[in-house]
């Protein structure tokens, strides 16, 4: 990819991110903003060889990946976070970049994606971030909050990760339209305690985050 094209594309993406953060609204430190832009540049570079995401344009990556991931930020607490099916680090790594004191574990079964994540976590010296290459059923640990972004149905997410949730912990499932059929398919022991409609800048599609807890 031509270096001049990359430079101009990243400049446009930087402006898009600034505008989107103002619309959320979300105020980030200069360090967090710069960390997001370095992540975007790394994602763009690695995506050429490893196909980490179907989104190729940096401006579209800002809208569909960075800003979308950041919409769940207000619903986080300070307990250890597990992001299942994290892919290229969405939303988990994005959240870790703007919440540097939050312990985050990024879990995915795709080795190419976890290789990218490990490289970027090491290059950014993100001591609070752990990358795990495994299926969620194989992983062991205890987390106060578990996120997923279009990872699986609600029932499958709960079944695959229930052993990882601390007593009193929460699932934060990012979805498009409110998935009424998925909610009705949940086991009786799991309830949706809250449903928040999300407004993602530059995206007119429906977005929700569902908060689930186990009885």
Tens-digit pLDDT profile for residues 81-104: 999 999 999 999 999 999 999 999
Tens-digit pLDDT profile for residues 9-47: 899 999 999 999 999 999 999 999 999 999 999 999 999
CATH topology for the 3-214 domain? Rossmann fold (3.40.50)
Q: What is the pLDDT of residue 151?
A: 80
The model carries a pTM of 0.94
Q: What is the pLDDT of residue 9?
A: 83
The pLDDT > 70 percentage for the chain reads 96
Q: What is the pLDDT of residue 4?
A: 56
In the chain, where the domains are located: 3-214
DSSP line for 136-190:
TTT----EEEEEEES-S-HHHHHHHHGGGEEEEEEEEEEESS--HHHHHTS-TTE
Q: What is the DSSP letter of 187?
A: -
CA–CA dist 177, 108 (Å, integer): 24
């Amino acid at each position: 990819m031509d270096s001049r094209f990359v430079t101009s594309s990243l400049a446009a993406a930087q402006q898009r991110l600034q505008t989107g953060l103002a619309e959320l609204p979300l105020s980030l430190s200069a360090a967090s903003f710069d960390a997001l832009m370095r992540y975007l540049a790394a994602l763009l570079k690695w995506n050429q060889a490893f196909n980490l995401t179907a989104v190729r344009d940096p401006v579209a990556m800002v809208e569909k990946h960075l800003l979308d991931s950041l919409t769940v930020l207000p619903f986080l607490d300070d307990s250890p976070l597990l992001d299942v099916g994290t892919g290229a680090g969405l939303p988990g790594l994005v959240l870790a970049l703007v919440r540097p004191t939050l312990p985050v574990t990024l879990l995915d079964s795709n080795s190419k994606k976890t290789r990218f994540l490990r490289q970027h976590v090491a290059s950014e010296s993100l001591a609070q971030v752990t990358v795990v290459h495994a299926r969620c059923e194989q992983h062991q640990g205890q987390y106060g909050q578990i996120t997923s972004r279009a990872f699986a149905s609600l029932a499958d997410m709960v079944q695959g990760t229930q052993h990882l949730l601390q007593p009193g912990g929460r699932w934060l499932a990012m979805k498009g339209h409110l998935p009424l059929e998925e909610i009705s398919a949940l086991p009786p022991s799991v309830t949706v305690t809250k449903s928040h409609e999300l407004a993602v800048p530059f995206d007119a599609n429906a977005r929700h985050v569902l908060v689930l807890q186990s009885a």
